[in-house]
A and B are shown apart, each in its own frame.
Chain A
Amino acid sequence: MIMSGELVTSTKKTRISIMKSKDEALQKFLAFGVLIMLCILFGVLTGGSFLKIDNLLTIALQVTPYAILGFGLTFVLITGGTDLSAGSVIGFGGIVCAKAVTMGVSIPVAIIIGILAGIIAGLINGLFVTKLSVTPFIATLGTQFAFRGLTQLVGQGKPVSIQALGDEKIISVFRFIGGGTVFGRVPFPTIIMIITAIVLGIVLSKTGFGRRLYAVGSNEETARLSGINVIKTKLTAYIICGATASMAGILLAARLASAQSNAGQGYELEGIAAAVIGGTSVMGGEGGILGTVIGAFVMGVLRNGLNLLKVDAFVQMVIIGTIIVIGVWYDTARRKRQSI
């Protein structure tokens, strides 16, 4: 009986996944096309200064925290969930890491502690969503406040300054992690972002866990009936999200050599926007890491390009907001067309 059940779902799954991969490739291609178009547009409008290598590398540095956060959110979104606490976890991971350093812990250990803080935060989110069956939106809205409160507690409402330690060696190591360059001009955090993207991309597309994630997001009941441990799968997604959020937080704190207790406020929406522009569905079951990278770059290019074009700050907000809505509208329309 189990055998036949597995057989049925596996054939169904392959059919779904073939359909999906074609569809997703289209969305990714479109997002990529939009990105290239934006680059050409800004390149022309700024008389080439946008396309200077230095500016492109600046954009890469600017989008890095949003992209890394977006990777984790992609996992959660694929399960059909969401994580509104991710921005708070950025602050939490960063401040825990910085606090550890100011207390004399060595840098690598402090970074591990910071990431562990994020993992625990993710675990808590995951437990609320799975074991206690609280709607992800509500659960993570609550933990958004709770983790921000914890962050403020650790910092006593103030930034935890690594700069104030006055130890040039520690400061320079952190500044390198957060904003240093390798191979001449490539920002180091961007290298970390690329490595994270490759690792998580492989996890998502080439492992059993990745396939289970899509199955849970497409249809939780079917996934459960076909023997997938839904709770474990979802829990892992939230833990990955917590880990990436705290990674982003550590990079932000490292760049300034100071962890702000309000770091990451509102970043969860940037991360979700990056994922959605890149073709991840907020309804679950669809999405990928490469798409999120492209989505993050679309947002970053827009911001940088509009700044270079000297567009008024308030007008920029209107433009960026409109583009996000258009992106999501297009995605929904495409899905509707397909289901017909």
Chain B
Amino acid sequence: MKKVLSILLVCILIASMLAGCGGRGKESETGTGADKGNTSTGSTASDNTGGGGNKTIKIALVTKMVDSPYWQTVKRAAEEKAKELGNVEITHLGPPTEADIDKQVQIIETCINDDYDGIILAACDKDALVEPVRKAKQAGIPVVMIDSGISEPVYDAFLATNNVQAGAECAKLMAELIGGEGQVAIINFAAGTQTAVDRETGFTEEIKKNYKNIEIVGVQYCNSDPTVAANQATDFISAYPDLKGIWGANDQSAIGVAQAVTEQGKSDSIMVVGFDNSDDIKSGLKSGVIKGTAVQMPTVMGSEGVRIVVDIINGKAPANKDVDTGVTMVTTENMNDPKIQAILNQ
């Protein structure tokens, strides 16, 4: 047993060493494009290159991964903007998973060597991507961050949801739903994660500041597990018989809360407000258990990202370095509006 284990460990060690060498090798022979496998095929948006008579602007859209629907939405919006502008070409690149930070670093380095005119980047890691972005800037390539930023402001602009503001929007909707008074509970999705902290801060500050008659009775953290969220929400309902509303701070939390409220037969008396958007959230809105949800705007990140990069290339600096792409509050009342439908299905 021990022998097998030690052989196994040696194998892992050797494998990881080889993998490390392989990575470095690849890095040194860049210049032929980023990892082929991770380049999403057919992502070149505009083929009317000669249209404006100008030189085509080549923009690399580098996301945390390529395949997820969220990033595909960003990409689609970027491509639409590119088509609208006429002489812009978008190439969508990204590592296989969000955890492949090294790969993303390599991709940025490749982009610099490949003479891209601009980079739109959603950083996998806020520290590891600082150097590559600095290098790109030194090479004269404008970099616009979207969704997830980096720890040093070496970029040209940062487009993201301001989660504090978004949390406050949820608080406003909740206050409106419960008539400005009563007890409210929060199911947050993680303790100590920046996004989660920001949302919770935004929500609680807004309530404290503007709604003196609303009491936040407690916060529980469900680790993005809807079943845990459902259990915690049920316990909140048992502990506070007069509870008026529960806010789920991401999609899984909200689904769990909705489930608990349904099981307890309280969907008329307890208002559920969520955050984000998914098939299950949509069903919740349709059935009326979830009264509203804050939907982020990846389309704005994509299209505004392209616009700002092109503006910088044309010599126009962005007005603000940090841009809040905002959230749209989708409610049971406005969800059938075609404009809102488009956001819900983006």
Tell me the A residues contacting B by CB distance below 8 Å. Answer: 49, 54-55, 58, 62, 65, 132-135, 138, 156-159, 161, 163-164, 166, 179, 252, 255-258, 260, 262-263, 265-266, 303-304, 307-310, 312-314
Contact = CB atoms under 8 A, between A and B. Distances in A.
Contacts of B217: 310
Contact of B238 (A58, A158, A255, A313): A58
Contact of B239 (A256, A307, A313): A307
A159 B259 contact: no
B5 A58 contact: no
A132 B4 contact: yes
Contacts of B1: 133, 135
Given A158-B278, A256-B280, 8 more contacts: A49-B238, A158-B69, A159-B279, A252-B227, A256-B259, A263-B227, A307-B236, A308-B239
Interface in B203-252: 217-221, 223-227, 230-232, 234-236, 238-239, 252
A163 B283 contact: yes
Contacts of B278: 158-159, 161
Interface residues of B, number: 37
A313 B220 CA distance: 6
B238 A308 contact: yes
Nearest to B4: A133
Contact of B234 (A62, A312, A313): A62
B218 A310 contact: yes
Which 4 pairs show the lowest CB-CB distances between chains A and B?
A307-B235, A164-B279, A163-B283, A161-B279
Interface of B: 1, 4-5, 8, 67-69, 191, 217-221, 223-227, 230-232, 234-236, 238-239, 252, 255-256, 259, 263, 278-280, 282-284
A179 B263 contact: yes
12 contacts: A49-B238, A157-B67, A157-B68, A158-B68, A159-B279, A161-B279, A161-B280, A255-B230, A263-B227, A307-B220, A307-B238, A313-B220
B308 to A, nearest CB: 29
A258 B4 contact: no
A221 B232 CA distance: 46
Contacts of B232: 307
A271 B4 CA distance: 29
Q: Which of A135, A313, A314 has the most CB of B within 10 A?
A: A313
Contacts of A303: 231, 235
Contacts of B282: 164
A151 to B, nearest CB: 14
Contact of A258 (B223, B235, B255): B255
A49 B255 CA distance: 26
A163 B280 contact: yes
B238 A263 contact: no
A260 B8 contact: no
Contacts of A310: 217-218, 239
A266 B231 CA distance: 16
B209 to A, nearest CB: 23
A99 to B, nearest CB: 13
A281 to B, nearest CB: 20
A266 B225 CA distance: 10
B283 A260 contact: no
Q: Which of A65, A134, A260 has the most CB of B within 10 A?
A: A260
Nearest to B258: A256
A164 B277 CA distance: 13
A141 B220 CA distance: 29
A258 B227 CA distance: 11
A246 B196 CA distance: 30
A260 B231 contact: no
B263 A65 contact: no
A33 to B, nearest CB: 24
Contacts of A312: 218
Nearest to A157: B68
B280 A258 contact: yes
A309 B224 CA distance: 23
A256 B219 contact: no
B234 A263 contact: no
A174 to B, nearest CB: 12
Given A134-B5, A255-B227, A262-B224, A164 B239 contact: no
